[in-house]
Chains A and B, each alone.
Chain A
Amino acid sequence: MKAPYWAAESPVEHLGSERYPYPLGREDVGLRHATSIGRVTALLTVDSTPCYSLAKNAWLCGQYWTDKGDQLISATEQHIELVVLSIGLSLVLSFPLALIARRFRVTAPVILGGATTVYTIPSLALFSLLLPVWGLTMTTVVVGLALYAITILIRNILAGLDGVPDAAIEAALGMGYGPTRMLFTVELPLALPAIMAGLRVATVSTVALATVGAILNYGGLGNLLYDAVNSQFKAQILAASVLCVALAVAFDVLLIAIGWVLTPWARRRT
């Protein structure tokens, strides 16, 4: 076995004769010191091509994250924008739709059936079908994502409202609550855990789905994935994938926290 460099009789042994072909005596301390500094700088300078260069194409490359940080941040920002806009739009649309489906039972099969049909359509196809309406814009992606989220939200809003205990409704009726006040102060708060559960599922799905928006050039982190297809840019693929999953987890945790704050009565007593 070869001795480690600090135990070597002469630096020549560990430095390799190709790069440092000078025979050094033990007494030549000054020169030996100088050579080891040279060795350190050599290590730093020889490998100057970054680990994400095409020649190396490493999966894990810290330098990619530092060098292309701006790109990663702007892609993440666009991703967050897509998710927030589409979830916001789906919330605004799904509440009236769910209330209509509940109030007028005839419309329920149409609304639920329509939503389920939309959910069956693959994302790439849905974005493509919306292309003639909004063209190559962010709106196409946002509307497409919102359509999927609406399906999940309508079902959960209806399930949540159905799950409100009859006793609570009767008590409110007895206290003279009208339908509007009943909805906002009794039914919706009691349905909130189910609605929040749906919102979590919808949001996490939307984070993952938004990547497909890359086909329209509005895919947030998906754009980075799409750009990396031809060059097989591994560091970028891994970074974008990891950030995407991290974003989904972050949104989920945020929504759990919001749900916890909004439903103090549902917290388990310890």
Chain B
Amino acid sequence: MTGVWPFLTARSSWAGPNGIAARLAEHLWLTGVSMLLALVIALPVALVLGHTGKGGAVAINISNVGRAIPTFAIILVLSVGALGTDDFGPFGRAGLATLVSLVLFAIPPIMTNAYVGMREVDRDLVESAQGMGMNAQETFWQVELPMALPLVMTGVRLAVVQVWATATIAALVAGPGLGNIIQKGFDSNKQYMVVGGAIVVAVVAIILELSLVLVARVIDPMRRARRHRDLTPRLAVVEGVR
């Protein structure tokens, strides 16, 4: 473990185009963009499917299929295949293939949890909303979506952690991101570099997870009510592959 702390605190290891700072920015940028794309694609579909109660098999099985496919293999197939670009703007080498893989792997957790969240909304609540004269749109926005929000946020959180992990693996296929620090450490037989890079990746992953837990708690519109009565929907543990 010697040398890890000096490596992490040295200005030289953070600076430069291959330094930790640049790789961290690249990694965060990749994660943000692919999450945005995945949300735009998956969330409306999942919410509408959940609202109408159709396509449940697809929404749930997409996670099971996603789990069986190695992220490493997908990035590699895409980067060697049609999406193999040398450089892709701020995403660097193999950037397009990495971005597309990240979006693909972010969709299942978002989709499944949002769908399950919508379906788990108490049917009595929906019926009483309709009985009070709410139309489908009002029911969706004012009853179903607020009640489903905790699980929707769980899906988003799982997707972010998933994307962060997958982006790390991108370095194995000569792609962008913090994985390069680890990979370079392995290549040059510098254990302090491997461990140092891994610590940065792990710490940021944990920070992302915790802050999303916090965000979910703050934006949950039912949090006051939950203190008094247990309205928490059954937690669906839908995890992906790291």
B-binding residues in A (CB < 8 A): 59, 117, 119-126, 128-129, 131-132, 148, 152, 155-156, 201, 204-205, 207-209, 211-212, 214-215, 222, 225-226, 228-230, 232, 234, 237-238, 240-241, 244-245, 248-249, 252
Chain A nearest Cβ from B214, distance in angstroms: 14
Number of A-B contacts (CB under 8 A): 142
Chain A nearest Cβ from B191, distance in angstroms: 6
Chain A nearest Cβ from B61, distance in angstroms: 12
Are A211's CB and B239's CB within 8 A? Answer: no
Chain A nearest Cβ from B233, distance in angstroms: 15
Cβ contacts under 8 Å, B99 to chain A: none
CB contact between B195 and one of A121, A129, A240, A244 (< 8 Å): that residue = A129
Q: List 9 A-B contacts (CB under 8 A).
A: A59-B81, A117-B206, A123-B165, A124-B179, A125-B205, A132-B195, A152-B237, A211-B72, A248-B67
Chain B nearest Cβ from A219, distance in angstroms: 8
Cβ contacts under 8 Å, A209 to chain B: 70, 241-242
Are B206's CB and A123's CB within 8 A? Answer: no
What is the bound-complex CA distance between A232 and B40, given in angstroms?
33
Cβ contacts under 8 Å, B84 to chain A: 232
Are B67's CB and A204's CB within 8 A? Answer: yes
Are B172's CB and A212's CB within 8 A? Answer: yes
Q: A124-B182, A212-B169 are in contact. List 5 more A-B contacts (CB 8 A).
A: A120-B202, A122-B169, A126-B202, A215-B183, A252-B68
Are A124's CB and B168's CB within 8 A? Answer: yes
Beyond A122-B242, A128-B195, is A208–B205 a contact (Cβ under 8 Å)? Answer: no
Chain A nearest Cβ from B101, distance in angstroms: 13
Q: Is the interface of A mostly helix, strand, loop or mixed?
A: helix
Which chain A residue has the least Cβ–Cβ distance from B242?
Answer: A123
What is the bound-complex CA distance between A222 and B149, given in angstroms?
38
Chain A nearest Cβ from B80, distance in angstroms: 5
A-binding residues in B (CB < 8 A): 1, 64, 67-74, 76-77, 80-81, 84, 161, 164-166, 168-169, 171-174, 179, 182-183, 185-186, 191, 194-195, 197-199, 201-202, 205-206, 209, 237, 239-242
Cβ contacts under 8 Å, A237 to chain B: 73, 76-77, 80
Which chain B residue has the least Cβ–Cβ distance from A229?
Answer: B173
Which chain A residue has the least Cβ–Cβ distance from B183?
Answer: A215
Cβ contacts under 8 Å, A155 to chain B: 237
Chain A nearest Cβ from B180, distance in angstroms: 11
Cβ contacts under 8 Å, B161 to chain A: 120
What is the bound-complex CA distance between A121 and B64, given in angstroms?
21
Cβ contacts under 8 Å, A124 to chain B: 165, 168-169, 171-172, 179, 182, 198, 201
Beyond A124-B179, A204-B68, is A241–B172 a contact (Cβ under 8 Å)? Answer: no
Are B202's CB and A122's CB within 8 A? Answer: yes
Cβ contacts under 8 Å, B237 to chain A: 152, 155-156
Cβ contacts under 8 Å, B240 to chain A: 205
Chain A nearest Cβ from B106, distance in angstroms: 14
Are A232's CB and B80's CB within 8 A? Answer: yes
CB contact between A201 and one of B164, B205, B239 (< 8 Å): that residue = B239
CB contact between B198 and one of A126, A222, A225, A244 (< 8 Å): that residue = A126
